[in-house]
Amino acid sequence: MFREVELPKKLLKDQVPSAGGEVVREIRQMAQGMENLSVLHVNSTCYGGGVAELLYTIVPLMRDAGLDARWYVMDNIPTEFFEVTKKIHNSLQGAKTPLTDEEWQLYEDVNMELAKSFPRGPWDVVVIHDPQPLAARTFLERIPENRKPVVGRWFWRCHIDLSTPFMDTWERVAFYVNRFDGVILTSPEYAREEIKAPITQITPSIDPTSSKNMIISDEEAKKIIASLGVDQERPLVVQVSRFDPWKDPFGVVEAYRMLKVKRPDLQLAMIGSIAHDDPEGIELLEKLKKAAENDHDIHVLSNEDGVGAPEVAVFQQLADVIVQKSIREGFGLTITEAMWKMRPVVAGAATGCKLQITDGVDGLIINSTEECAERIDEILRNPDLAARLGSKARETVREKFLSTGHVANYLKLFARR
């Protein structure tokens, strides 16, 4: 039911050119006294989502700081379980989608099996990410003492926007949440009063040394984008995200079509990946391809088309405008990636987007499809605006959203007793 993820080697010293030497020195100093602190991160999948991207970097950097950090993912889980947890995810973000008794039973049965096979440790700290393995902490209480893992402190790390949950689901989830010693949220606005455990705010981050965030030469970038059918000589709008209704992909297509009337040379690329724990994404991807099939200037591409991290980087690097038209957004890593590449970003007014972007300073926030089209057009008409937003965006990411700051915030949390 669990397997350990094989991690790449990442070193804090390699972060110095982006984050600065002082930040790395502070991490080394904070880690003094935490040598060999055993830390276990647990989530549902090692591919396809933002949580996996985060853990691929922050766990190796914790190791380099001297901690004994590990990452385990759920394994051999029935697809039906992820259909249930996607309903939980959606309802925690506000969708009125109640779960049946049978669905709750499946969720609890799988989490009981997770509890039975939970890595023994001993662990000084365990961080459980998102709802999928959340209930395992509770069901461990039903496991015989000689089979329980030895754990010092438990934290639930929620990456979801909890500001307006469907209460029937949230109340049941909150029961499991309150079995933890602490809860980690991305924004104070997600701090529900039903959470009784101490709350810590930690924002996600990007790794500037990853293949997705390193600059590719213009010559190579143009070759890659041309091979995927995009004309680099014409304006290009890009949204990179999971194929998820909360990202409002059809709203992006509608905004593009509004603009296409006055800008017939405009192109749109919708880039995403299919995550192993998101069966809903496969269906939405097919619907999006169907909606775009009669317009050769709309490019709907995923990992199934051979689009991986380098290709995503190219689309972000060469886009004239990046869009993230989210209705709900815990935190948009793809926004931060685009900001780091100094691209102008137009984003929905979701809490997570507004946490990253200051409207008119380092990006633009929109409240409707019509406004989305207008703001894209404004940027395309005004190269100086695009350059100003992009320049400020990179500095915002350097100050707030790099991996080093993320690791430092975890170390501060672990140091508390």
Best CA proximity match to 159, nearest among 192, 99, 94, 203: 203
Residue type, 264: P
Calpha distance 161→189 (Å, rounded)? 8
Whole-prediction pTM: 0.93
Per-residue pLDDT tens over the stretch 256-312: 999 999 999 999 999 998 766 677 788 899 999 998 989 999 999 998 888 988 999
Domains and CATH numbers, the chain: 2-207+402-415 (3.40.50.2000), 218-400 (3.40.50.2000)
For the residues 82-111, what does the mean pLDDT come to? Answer: 96
H or E element that contains 259: helix 249-260
pLDDT of residue 282: 85
Question: Which range is least confidently modeled, 58-72, 139-153, 176-190, 268-282?
Answer: 268-282
Continuous segment of H or E residues that includes residue 302: strand 298-302
* Residue 53 confidence class, pLDDT cut points 50, 70, 90: very high
Residue in this structure with the two tokens 């890659």, named with its chain if needed: 224
Is residue 273 within 8 A of residue 357, CB to CB? The reply is no
Summarised one tens digit per residue, pLDDT across range 158-186 is: 999 999 999 999 999 999 999 999 999 99
C-beta separation of 131 from 85 below 8 A: yes
The answer to whether the peptide bond before residue 122 is cis (omega within 30 degrees of 0) is yes
CB 363 within 8 A of CB 344: yes
Beta bridge partners of 212: none
pLDDT at position 206 over 80 = yes
Interhelix angle 309-318/218-227, rounded to 10 degrees, is 110
CB atoms within 10 A of CB 416: 9
Token pair belonging to 67? 């901690």
Provide the pLDDT confidence category of residue 86 given band limits of 50, 70 and 90: very high
pLDDT over 80 (residue 319) = yes
